[in-house]
């Protein structure tokens, strides 16, 4: 709200969401656009369609022109290369997107007095000594985790007004069966009518809609003049291996539990933490949102496998 010649003019907060075509960015864009009075501009890349803006974040000139034209008050930076095995195989491309682009956004944010919200990951931790608090010492095991940590540091070292929100494995609103690691379990289970699933790594499946609501709350609090600077953690509550997730999904896919077996040999080319449980107490003191339970997500169809197109 600003004063102008005796009139009070309502000024909406303008928010840019990067990665607005991605798993999380879609939920965030929708939440901010539909449920709040913010002005929201979503930017995507290869999947972008109007009203989203198509922007290659790797092109620094295009990025700068876009930000100068839009003049946002806040950037929610969701775009990233989030697949650990791809990051390992294509380190330069991942470093460019996860670190250099983040650093450019951070520089622009600081220069123009914009707040920056950066989405990070539990993979900044090595998973040997859970739970992890926002001030626990990071020690990423794989290249993806290292780039996300470097992105965090670029934000922290550059922007005065920043929030870093670390989240674990995400699901919800997938556009295709392999879009999240969890819908991948569902798709494989459904296709093979059973299978072997990892029973070594403990994961905390987290619903994208919950993360989007938290980001909305954070922005509303910022809009109301409250500081929200620092690192925060959010996580689903259920501690599950993929094998346990498959067992929970099985009845809904009419698959007999005997067709599902535990795999105790860790897979994937990138090393992954065994249990990088994020402690969420710091966030809970500021934002009142309880996470969707995994069983509720399965029952209520928040997972893609409830979509008939998957049941082939
Ligand atoms: P995602 O589904 O893979 O989406 C990635 C987004 O980045 C897409 O919108 C993609 O656009 C965009 N992008 C890629 N290259 C780009 C470029 N050159 N220029 C502009 N945009 C580009 O990722 P996500 O799962 O939503 O992840 C969101 C955030 O959460 C990331 O920071 C990730 O590290 C973090 N996170 C994710 C998980 C998870 O389980 N998914 C877990 C923990 C943390 P197009 O598709 O249009 O090309």
Q: How far apart are CA 57 and CA 17, in angstroms?
A: 12
Compute how many other C-beta atoms are within 10 angstroms of the C-beta atom of residue 160: 10
pLDDT tens digits, one per residue of 46-62: 999 999 999 999 999 99
Q: How far apart are CA 243 and CA 239, in angstroms?
A: 12
Q: Where are the beta strands (DSSP E) in 208-289?
A: 230-233, 260-263
Prior bond of 131 cis (ω within 30°): yes
Q: Which of 16, 18, 23 to mutate to test the pocket of ligand 1 (most atoms within 8 A of CB)?
A: 23
Binding pocket residue ranges, ligand 1, CB within 6 Å = 19, 21-25, 44-48, 55-58, 78-80, 82, 97, 119, 121, 148, 167-170, 180
Contact of 252 with 306, CB cutoff 8 Å:
yes
Q: How far apart are CA 38 and CA 223, in angstroms?
A: 10
pLDDT tens digits, one per residue of 194-230: 999 999 999 999 999 999 999 999 999 999 999 999 9
Q: Which of 16, 17, 18, 19 to mutate to test the pocket of ligand 1 (most atoms within 8 A of CB)?
A: 19
3 pLDDT exceeds 70?
no
Q: What percent of the chain has pLDDT over 90?
A: 86
DSSP 251: G
Mean pLDDT within 293-310: 75
Domains of the chain: 2-173+206-235+277-291 (3.40.50.720)
What pLDDT, on the 0 to 100 scale, is given for residue 305? 57
């Amino acid at each position: 709200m600003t004063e102008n010649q005796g009139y009070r003019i309502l000024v909406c907060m303008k928010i840019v969401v990067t990665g607005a075509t991605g798993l999380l960015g879609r939920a965030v864009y929708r939440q901010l656009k539909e449920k709040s009075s913010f002005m929201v501009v979503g930017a995507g890349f290869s999947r972008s369609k109007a009203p989203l803006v198509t922007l290659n974040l790797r092109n620094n000139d295009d990025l700068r022109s876009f930000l100068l034209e839009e003049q946002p008050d806040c950037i929610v930076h969701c775009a990233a290369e989030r697949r650990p095995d791809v990051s390992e195989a294509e380190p330069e491309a991942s470093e460019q997107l996860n670190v250099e682009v983040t650093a450019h956004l951070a520089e622009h944010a600081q220069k123009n007095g914009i707040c920056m919200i950066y989405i990070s990951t539990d993979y900044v931790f090595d998973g040997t000594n859970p739970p992890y608090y926002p001030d626990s010492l990071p020690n990423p095991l794989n290249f993806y985790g290292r780039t996300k940590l470097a992105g965090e540091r670029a934000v922290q070292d550059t922007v005065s007004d920043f929030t870093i929100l670390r989240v674990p494995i995400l699901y919800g609103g997938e556009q295709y069966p392999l879009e999240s690691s969890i819908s991948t379990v569902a798709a494989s289970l459904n296709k093979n009518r059973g299978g072997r699933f990892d029973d070594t790594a403990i994961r905390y499946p987290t619903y994208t809609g919950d993360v989007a609501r938290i980001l909305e709350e954070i922005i509303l609090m910022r809009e109301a003049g409250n500081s929200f600077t620092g690192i925060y953690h959010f996580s689903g509550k259920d501690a599950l291996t993929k094998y346990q997730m498959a067992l929970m999904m099985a009845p809904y896919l009419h698959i007999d539990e005997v067709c599902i077996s535990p795999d105790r040999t860790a897979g994937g080319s990138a090393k992954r933490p065994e249990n990088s449980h994020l402690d969420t107490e710091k966030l809970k003191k500021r934002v009142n949102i309880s996470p969707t339970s995994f069983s509720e997500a399965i029952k209520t169809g928040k997972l893609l496998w409830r979509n008939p197109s998957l049941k082939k």
